[in-house]
Amino acid sequence: MNHPEHRMAAALLVACTSLAGSPALAQGVPKDTLVIVSEMGPNSLDTMVPTANDHSRLVVWQTYDRLVSHGTKVLPDGTVTYDASVIVPELAERWEISADKKTYTLFLRKNATFHDGTPVTAKDVKWSFDRAIAAGGFPAVQMAAGSLVKPEQFTVVDTHTFKATFDQPNKLTMPDLAVPVPVIVNSELAKKHATAADPWALEWVSRNDAGGGAYKVESWTPGQQLVFARFDAWKSGALPKLKKVVYRQIASPGTRRALIEKGDVDMSVGLPPKDYAELAKSGKVKVIGVPVQNDLVFLDMNVKMPPFDNPKVREAISYAIPYKEILATALYGRAVPMFGGDPAKPYDPTWPVPIKHGTDLAKAKALLAEAGFPNGFKTTLSFDLSEATVREPTAVLIQESLKKIGVEVSIEKVPGSNWFAQMASKSMPFVIAEFYGWLDYPEYHFFWTFHGGNNSVFNTANYVNPTLDKWIDSARFATNDKVYKEGLQNMVNIVMTELPRIPLYRKFADYAVQPNVKGFEYWFHTHPDFRKMYKE
């Protein structure tokens, strides 16, 4: 047990532990090890747990296989990103799709094993898909986006052949197989820890590794540190160059910035926009900034609550938002503006689209008077406290601007642990929120944030429109391009006319990395993919 590699690993863990109280590592970081620092971390190792947070996606992306993945492409600035238009093998080495696109047959690699050495079979795939649906909440809705909705659809043809059938074609089916929900769980291992109250072993898998991906979870101290070790028997891709990845949570952004500037860590994620703007300007480290695909940070007005049930009030508010100041002061320019669109042109059949104006307080006052509120009104603006670095200055700017038209705004800071519950309650009158889709399709964004049939947690505007729902469904299942674009056009026109939601900006996914860190790829979930990264 006293192998040199074990001693090195132990020294590294001691060094990383020192990060909590010291801005420097006690030891140098080996070339085959990557150390990342971030404020946030996972609350679960299992993404199928409905309460799992976004950082659980970081874990399962490295530690579990999906049936398929995406190819990559290079952006104009040289950044490598995943290619949404290209599906490539992962656990499934090939597949067949019937002519009517209602039957998908996937053929698994015959040499793939889970981390404990158990062979991966089609039974594991079916059990995993059944499990994601049974979990309910976010996992089930995510599966539904690709029409993966009931166990009867999934068949084990033989040991290494899996079949899924559908009532109608859905172009989101294959992309939905590549997201961090339908991951393949070691069913025999998980079932050993199932109980009558927890038949899918959600509790045990949330704390233990039951995967077969490129990395194993070597250790996890919630709220502090997660250590990944390469799974040398991985067969679903080229073996990663990094043998170990240490993901360390540090609350202080100043400490995280100091660590990356001094060269004591390899990557710093989740820094404030101000830090990334300054780091990019200084050139000491490499800053990679990619506008998050189909992301939208927005203001939702609860249309079931007065006065936001009045369309004129919603329009008035849209003219009183200090769009430019938010972008400059809260984001330090590290975002794509979603305002000031060309009023002479129709909205494009895509999403998100920029609102066709900017700040006009005189127009806002006039609209409020038309709505019957010449003296304004009082309301509460809520935001997620875990996003306070950007959301709090945004809220203050909005508060100050709305005061100029007679609207008195009280700011409510909702603790991050309660944010999703508050969103689901539909009880907040005025909200700063965000949504970005893993699948880069406008109808996917609408499906998650506006479709009345979902009662989605992301629909904080509480906006339900049966006509809109019909157009969303039409676009989701359209096979004719003309019908598809007509659906998108109508969807966009409805929400930008009714205006339950005011677009603000698309944020950047920012990463600070040492110059010798190579192989970074941007992915739709915005987390680093360790499998392609290495150090020179």
pLDDT bucket at 28, cuts 50 / 70 / 90: low
Vertex 528: Cα angle to 416 and 66 (nearest 5): 95
- Supply 210's token pair: 């039951």
**Beta strands 103-108 and 161-165, pairing class:** antiparallel
Res 145 pLDDT > 80 = yes
Q: What is the mean pLDDT of residues 445-474?
A: 91
Q: What is the mean pLDDT of the chain?
A: 92
Query: DSSP string of 447-491?
Result: HHHT-TTTT-TT-TT----HHHHHHHHHHHH--SHHHHHHHHHHH
Instruction: Check if the beta carbon of residue 205 is closer than 8 Å to that of residue 45.
Output: yes
Res 302 pLDDT > 80 = yes
Res 206 pLDDT > 60 = yes
Q: What percent of the chain shows pLDDT beyond 70?
A: 95
pLDDT, position 7? 37
Res 16 pLDDT > 80 = no
Tell me the one-letter amino acid at 213: G
How far, in Å, CA of 407 to CA of 203, rounded?
Answer: 47
**Percentage helix, strand, coil, to 5, in the chain?**
35, 25, 45
Q: What is the mean pLDDT of residues 153-177?
A: 96
Res 12 pLDDT > 70 = no
Instruction: Check if the beta carbon of residue 345 is closer than 8 Å to that of residue 361.
Output: no
Task: Write the CB contacts of 500 (distance below 8 Å, at least 6 apart in sequence).
Answer: 300, 301, 303, 314, 461, 462, 463
Torsion of CA 528, 183, 249, 198, to 10 degrees: 170
pLDDT bucket at 476, cuts 50 / 70 / 90: confident
pLDDT, position 17? 42
- Supply 202's token pair: 């959600």
pLDDT bucket at 51, cuts 50 / 70 / 90: confident
* Superfamily of domain 296-507 in the CATH hierarchy: Dipeptide-binding Protein; Domain 3 (3.10.105.10)
Q: Could you count the other beta carbons within 10 Å of the beta carbon of residue 161?
A: 17
How far, in Å, CA of 277 to CA of 320, rounded?
Answer: 27
Instruction: Check if the beta carbon of residue 84 is closer than 8 Å to that of residue 176.
Output: no
Res 233 pLDDT > 60 = yes
pLDDT, position 141? 87
What φ, ψ does residue 134 adopt, rounded to 5°?
-65, -30
Tell me the one-letter amino acid at 65: D
pLDDT bucket at 159, cuts 50 / 70 / 90: very high
Task: Write the CB contacts of 256 (distance below 8 Å, at least 6 apart in sequence).
Answer: 37, 38, 39, 250, 268, 270, 271
**Beta strands 267-269 and 33-38, pairing class:** parallel
* Superfamily of domain 4-266+514-535 in the CATH hierarchy: Periplasmic binding protein-like II (3.40.190.10)
Q: What is the mean pLDDT of residues 338-367?
A: 95
Q: Pick left, alpha or beta for residue 286 (phi over 0 → left; psi -120 to 50 → alpha; otherwise beta).
A: beta
Tell me the one-letter amino acid at 448: W
378 against 138, higher pLDDT: 378
Q: Mind listing the pLDDT tens digit for each residue in 71-116? A: 999 999 899 999 999 999 999 999 999 999 999 999 999 999 999 9
What is the H or E stretch that residue 227 is in? strand 225-230
**Helix (H, G, I), strand (E, B), or coil: what is residue 464?**
coil
Q: Do domains 4-266+514-535 and 296-507 have the same CATH topology?
A: no
pLDDT, position 467? 96
How far, in Å, CA of 231 to CA of 69, rounded?
Answer: 19
How far, in Å, CA of 368 to CA of 314, rounded?
Answer: 9
The crossing angle, in degrees rounded to 10, of helices 442-449 and 137-145 is 150
Reply yes or no: is the peptide bond before residue 346 cis, omega within 30 of 0: no
CA 279, 282, 288, 293 dihedral sign is positive
pLDDT, position 453? 81
pLDDT bucket at 291, cuts 50 / 70 / 90: very high
Could you tell me which of 223, 292, 317, 240 has the C-alpha nearest to residue 531? 240
- Supply 383's token pair: 């935001």
Query: DSSP string of 61-107?
Result: HHHS--SEEEEEEE-TTS-EEEEEEEEEESSEEEEEE-TTS-EEEEE
pLDDT, position 479? 86
pLDDT, position 29? 77
305 against 20, higher pLDDT: 305
For residue 138, how many C-alpha atoms fall within 13 Å in the half-sphere facing its CB? 21
| Low-confidence winner among 13-17, 181-185, 360-364 (lowest mean pLDDT) | 13-17
- Supply 466's token pair: 């049966």
Tell me the one-letter amino acid at 32: D
Q: Could you count the other beta carbons within 10 Å of the beta carbon of residue 52?
A: 25
Q: Which residue ranges make up each domain of the chain?
A: 4-266+514-535, 296-507
3 against 123, higher pLDDT: 123
Res 27 pLDDT > 80 = no
Instruction: Check if the beta carbon of residue 514 is closer than 8 Å to that of residue 263.
Output: yes
pLDDT, position 8? 36
